[in-house]
Structure 1
Amino acid sequence: MIFLSGFANRLPLRGFQGASLSSLLSSVLKKGGRDVIHSFGKRNCSFSSTVEVSEFEHDGFHDDAKSTEKDAALYLALSRLSGDFDKESPLCLRRFFGIRRVPVVSTGSLKLDLALGVGGLPKGRFVEIYGLEASGKTTLALHIIKEAQKAGGVCAYFDVENAIDPFLVESMGVDTQSLLISHPNSAENLLSAVDTLTKSGAVDVIVVDSVAALVPQCEIDVSLGSSIWFKSSDGSESIDEYTCGGNALKFYAAIRLRLKKTGLLENENKEVTGLGISVQVVKNKLAPAMKKAELGLQFGRGFRCESEVLELACNHGVIVKEGNSYLIEGEVFSNKHAAEKHLAENEMIYDNLVSILRKLLFETRRERR
């Protein structure tokens, strides 16, 4: 599940009654998370300066009888967990290693997939994509939907902002006929729909665009005359970075991506045709975090994936480059622009190169591990 959010100033609102958006998200995310087993046993600790010697005595020699007794007690505890909850509750090392290689959905960008370390975004996890306005958040979400549809998956898009452009979505290659689109009128309705789709297990990608536009029903019902107090700032305090939705998304998200504009893209006539985007993996529970990917976003088309495919293919010897010329499957192109145009116009050649690069970049790494 993918949540798109922007930045928010820390301005407390007073005068509203009922649950806040942060508490709503927290309660729903808890229901969608994995089962947690709490231990209620506590051991008393002594803070006195005198400590008895018996507390530091080593355990005795290994006793087979005690070991067998421990194994039996552990087996009994796991059996109770299996009976009280489900068959997936027992804790075992084999099951832990079995879920380390989770299935992923490609982001559509090989550079970003490399930065994520696992080849894409993991299925069954929460992902938060945040950044300033017009930084490419929706574009990235649509690319993820496109890749999921290529693999035969079903996707849902919750347009809370009511700002989705069907023509832009189709121009990026997304199949709008099979895409589930909804315009929820409150946070409760959206979270209820998300919960239903998640429990069905039939939807591969769910996008919420965006968290900033979610409003609880209790705040919608409040009259305009209710008082709202804002915290004034004189600029002396340090301005921290806050994302919408409170801390719930930060804690429950397996991956957090921060998007930032780095510059403008221009054509030969010095006309602005797109933006340079920097994507930083701020949080990653599946691989090392804090890696970056520099991407190019072209207006009306999305990310310039053919540019990074050409670069990675040359670096790994899939495409031969001599000077400014490129050799792609027997055809020679005099410059980079011509080579990128050829890849953009020939989907079969592009997909073949992506398939080869994914095997080199990801499957080879998994075999080494």
Structure 2
Amino acid sequence: MFYPKAAEDLHLPAYHAPQGGFMPGDEKRKLEKTITALQNRWGSQIVQRGRPPTAVTAISTTFPELDAALGSGGIPRGRLTEIGGVPTSGMATLVLKVIAAAQGEGGTAVYLDIERTFDADYAARCDVQLQQLIVVRPYTVRQGIHMLADFLAPGSPDVLVFDSALERLTEPATAALLTTAVSRLTSPLAHSACALIFLLALPEPPPPSPLAHYAALRLRLHKERWLYRRGDVRGYEAQVEVTRSRLGPAGRRARIAITFNGTVDGDGLSSGERRR
């Protein structure tokens, strides 16, 4: 079960009454008395001074055009990102590339494989270090939701992926559980270096997502065309649409090229590739 972090665990300076100011003397003394009572009852760290928000760091998607479109330089840490699309849209490849980028910086990753569709061979070809990846297969989607709090406890991974079909999350009981869980995870997530990613397989047309309110970033992927070299299929091009962003402009689009050559690359279109 998730319990919010105690204020003492956040390592913030305790509130101390300011010297001077514009508050009338009687009102100021009443406020200070209230603060003192709160500190005596709940601890010195219960009251904090406001401070500017810390800068959001990000994990590169390894697609430069997409990183630029996101505004944050990649998938943000300490935030929830929703990545959706139909199968073969490129969404799974994008997430695997993010995991590989985090691992390349010495980070860790956990993959909650709700649908049991994780392909280890394909992940390896996306440069994911399988020995450094924890794959968890919950028995039910509800069990997977409960596990989120466990993995966002102190010592959380750099990337936490929840891979599920959106339709399973929109069932009333599951949606209620999910929104309650995610709302409680907002604070511990914000105080972590973890990028929480919901990888959602979308039906056509997709129903409203229960995560829409909580996601700092929402991406929608569409496969646009195959890429050919000397008449053979060598990959495909996909479009990524930023449908929501709290860290930059929404509505931006970026094209990414995913090519197959023993490994799965995402370096963009080369002169030897052509579209059909």
1:189 lines up with 2:153 in the alignment: no
* 2-structure distance, mates of 1:87, 1:125: 24
Instruction: Tell me which of 49, 60, 64 is aligned to 1:106.
Output: 60
5+ long unaligned stretches in structure 2: 8-20, 175-203
Distance in 2, Cα, partners of 1:131 & 1:32: 33
In the TM superposition, 1:1-369 aligns within 5 A as 66-72=23-29, 84=42, 87=45, 90=48, 92=50, 95=51, 97-99=52-54, 101-212=55-166, 214=168, 241-243=205-207, 247-267=209-229, 269-299=230-260, 301-305=263-267, 307=268, 336-337=271-272
Q: Return the offset for 1:273.
A: 1.9
- Give the aligned partner of residue 198 of structure 2: none
| Percentage of identical aligned residues | 28
Structure 1: stretches of 5+ with no match in the other structure? 1-27, 36-63, 220-239, 311-335, 339-369
Is this contact kept in 1: 2:111–2:161, CA < 8 A? yes
The higher radius of gyration belongs to 1
3-state SS in 2 of match to 1:107: coil
- Aligned mates of 1:247, 1:80 — CA distance in 2: 43
Contact 1:295/1:303 (CA < 8 Å) preserved in 2? no
Residue 70 to residue 301, structure 1, CA distance change in 2 (3 Å): farther
**Distance in 2 between the 1:186 and 1:248 partners?**
18
Q: Which runs of 4+ in 1 moved over 4 A?
A: 30-33, 68-86, 213-216
Q: Which has the higher helix share?
A: 1
Shift of residue 241 of structure 1? 4.8
Structure 2 distance, partners of 1:85, 1:142, is: 43
Q: Distance in 2 between matches of 1:176 and 1:263?
A: 30
SS of equivalent residue, structure 2 residue 99:
helix
Aligned residues: 226
For 1:86 and 1:276, the matched residues in 2 are separated by 55
Q: CA deviation at 1:78?
A: 5.9
What is the TM-score of this pair, normalised by structure 1?
A: 0.53
| Pair 1:80–1:123, CA change in 2 (3 A) | farther
The amino acid of 2:219's aligned partner reads: L
Higher strand share: 2
The offset of 1:142, in angstroms, is 0.4
After the TM superposition, which of the residue ranges 101-110 and 173-182 deviates more from structure 2? 101-110
Query: 1:90 is matched by which residue type in structure 2?
Result: Q
Normalised by the size of structure 2, how large is the TM-score?
Answer: 0.69
* Superposed displacement of residue 149, structure 1: 0.5
Cα shift at 1:65:
7.3
Q: Deviations over 1:114-171 (max 9, x none)?
A: 1111111221211100112210111111011001111111100111221222111111
* Counterparts in 2 of 1:292 and 1:78: CA distance versus 1, 3 Å: farther
